[in-house]
Amino acid sequence: PREGYYALRTGRVLCIAHRGARSVAPENTILAAQRGLEEGADLWELDVQLTADGQLVVVHDDTLDRTTDVASRPEYTGRAPWRVCDFTLDELRGLDAGSWYQTADPHGQIASGGVTADDLALFPGLRIPTLDEALAFTADHGWRVNVEIKDMTVNADGSPGSPDYPGDEAVVRAVLECIRAHGLLERTLLSSFRHDCLRHAARMEPGLALAALVEDVRPDDPVALCRDLGVVAYHPGDDIVTEADVAGLRAMGVAVNVWTVNEEADMRRFIDWGVAGLITDVPLLCWGLLRER
Ligand code: G3P
Ligand code: CA
């Protein structure tokens, strides 16, 4: 395992706040990160994409309509489906990335009282952060982060990504520059479904902790995959990981961080299997379980 990985070790299972504590604040905002920190998460996970003018921003979907007010903005009526890669940073920064939460109540936390009126008052006007801002927040709080580079070559609907995509190498170079600028090389876990990004990162910054993201279909041989990529961590969806995978990867010194684990019974099961970390929308629940062990 690489040096950097040890800086991420705590001696117990890691609690990783998925897109921040996205159950209680609008995902991938600085407020969601703040809530993750308050709820005891060891690090937060965020999603990185490029704007039309080549800036790194923190947003999950390849379109802006679910988590911003773009669809209700008259000036953007003709810009559907509102792809992140078609908007400049200035345009993105003018969007409200918080008000949607009140309408959607995405985790039922408003209905259940987990998110109060005082909390809700903070959401309108939240902005999509730049990666620079997100890492500044992380560094300022002496925290740690799992930066996920999204696969920008293909959209969720299967259509091709922006023809202006500068290539994996250029994206990884820019992300690494930002991580270095904030002094977070020892406090960052870099992950991607786009494994070529991991290969570039391994070459450009050999000490950085890397994680292979996989979903939908279990790789034939997760150990071989991780060995080939030179990663210190394996990030499977919770529906494709097996107890044998966890044991086999552990034996190779590869950490298994499962996503997205939100139910207490599942958290206990994966902890019993020996996972290294849980990527969760509800860090408070996760941290509570970890503290009692
Ligand atoms: O990094 C774990 C998880 O975030 C990967 O899936 O779609 O939530 O980015 P997604
Ligand atoms: Ca993610």
Whose Cα sits closest to atom 6 in ligand 1? Answer: 259
- Whether the per-residue pLDDT at 117 is higher than 60: the answer is yes
Mean pLDDT of 11-38: 97
Which of 6, 39, 5, 12 lies closest to 24 in space, CA to CA? Answer: 39
| 1 pLDDT tier (thresholds 50, 70, 90) | very low
Which of 28, 35, 34, 81 lies closest to 56 in space, CA to CA? Answer: 28
Q: Does the complex come out with an ipTM higher than 0.95? A: yes
pLDDT of residue 278: 97
Residue 280, classed as helix, strand or coil, is strand
pLDDT of residue 3: 58
- Whether the per-residue pLDDT at 179 is higher than 90: the answer is yes
Q: Tokens representing 206?
A: 């050999």
Q: Rounded distance, CA 82 to CA 70, Å?
A: 7
Q: Which residue has the tokens 């010194």?
A: 253
* Dihedrals phi, psi of 241, to nearest 5 degrees: -90, 145
Q: Decide: 213 in ligand 1 pocket, CB within 6 A.
A: yes
Q: Which domains does the chain have, with CATH numbers?
A: 3-61+131-292 (3.20.20.190)
What spacing in Å lies between the alpha carbon of 48 and ligand 2's midpoint?
8
pLDDT per residue as tens digits for the range 218-270:
999 999 999 999 999 999 999 999 999 999 999 999 999 999 999 999 999 99
| Neighbouring-strand partners of residue 209 | 189
Q: Is 18 a catalytic residue?
A: yes
Q: Is 141 a catalytic residue?
A: no
Q: Decide: 148 in ligand 1 pocket, CB within 6 A.
A: yes
Closest atom of ligand 1 to CA, residue 211 = 1
pLDDT per residue as tens digits for the range 259-284:
999 999 999 999 999 999 999 999 99
Q: Tokens representing 68?
A: 């911003």
Mean pLDDT of 177-184: 97
Q: Tokens representing 134?
A: 């997100």
Q: Which of 107, 213, 216 has most ligand 1 atoms within 8 Å of its beta carbon, as the pocket-test mutant?
A: 213
Q: Are 186 and 4 in contact (CB under 8 A)?
A: yes
pLDDT of residue 10: 82
Question: If you average pLDDT over every residue of the chain, what do you get?
Answer: 96
